Amino acid sequence: MFYLFQSDRLESLAEMCARIHQASPLDSVLAQEEVVVQSQGMRRYLNVFFARELGVAANLKFSLPAGLAWQLMRKLVPDVPPLSPFSPEVMRWRLLDLFRSEAFQTDPEYENVRLKLESYLYSSASADYQLAGQMADIFDQYLVYRPDWIDAWQAGKLLGLGDDEDWQARLWRYLD
């Protein structure tokens, strides 16, 4: 069964979802329930809410809209790989590879990116991994909610979105 809840209050969404979960449980206790969420923050909130209100939060699969779309495509289109090249997990490792590369350290093309991210990248041993994950999550959100930005950046254009647009566009073109 597919349920769509809309609200401007996360608490209301969580309560509606919990009520449906209690009223119509899945056929098997081993079945995984999928919940599509707007962000990782929403996922964390719902997980804690379910555990608190229902006593347990187990066998829940939280997906972002782009991840769900990829899953559906895999079921309908032959030879689609298990992971999208633009899934946050894949983008994280690709960005981490860039941040640790010689080209990133020396290429003038990445100078603005290095300058913008320098204090963060070199603050600790795992900072580049954390930053790569945060950037991957941001790009995942852009793919869903700002596809016009992605299209412009792929075409080598800037939209005048502010000081941070240039370096984000450079990172996106690296991923593309």
Q: Specify whether 53 is located in the same domain as 95.
A: no
Q: Specify whether 43 is located in the same domain as 95.
A: no
Beta pairing partners, 34: 61
Identify the CATH number of the domain in which residue 94 sits. 1.10.10.160
Q: Is residue 79 part of a domain?
A: no
Verdict on whether the full-model pTM lies above 0.85: no
The b-or-e profile of 113-125 (16+ CB within 10 A means b, else e) is bbebbeeebeeee
CA distance 46 to 11: 9
Q: Is residue 78 part of a domain?
A: no
Give, in order, the Cα–Cα distances in Å from 51 to each of 56, 70, 103, 155.
4, 28, 46, 45
Convert the pLDDT of each residue in 128-170 to its tens digit. Answer: 888 898 899 899 889 888 999 999 999 999 999 998 899 999 9
In the numeric block, which tokens belong to residue 124?
């600790």
Convert the pLDDT of each residue in 10-39 to its tens digit. Answer: 898 888 888 887 777 777 778 888 888 888
Residue 153: which residues within 8 A CB-CB, separation 6 or more?
168, 169, 172, 173, 176
Q: Is residue 73 part of a domain?
A: no
Q: Is residue 123 part of a domain?
A: yes
Q: Which of 103, 108, 90, 107 is nearest to 175 (CA)?
A: 90
Amino acid in position 106:
T
CA distance 175 to 165: 15
The H helix count followed by the E strand count for the chain is 9, 2
Q: Is residue 71 part of a domain?
A: no
Convert the pLDDT of each residue in 64-89 to its tens digit. Answer: 887 888 888 998 998 888 888 888 88
Beta pairing partners, 61: 34
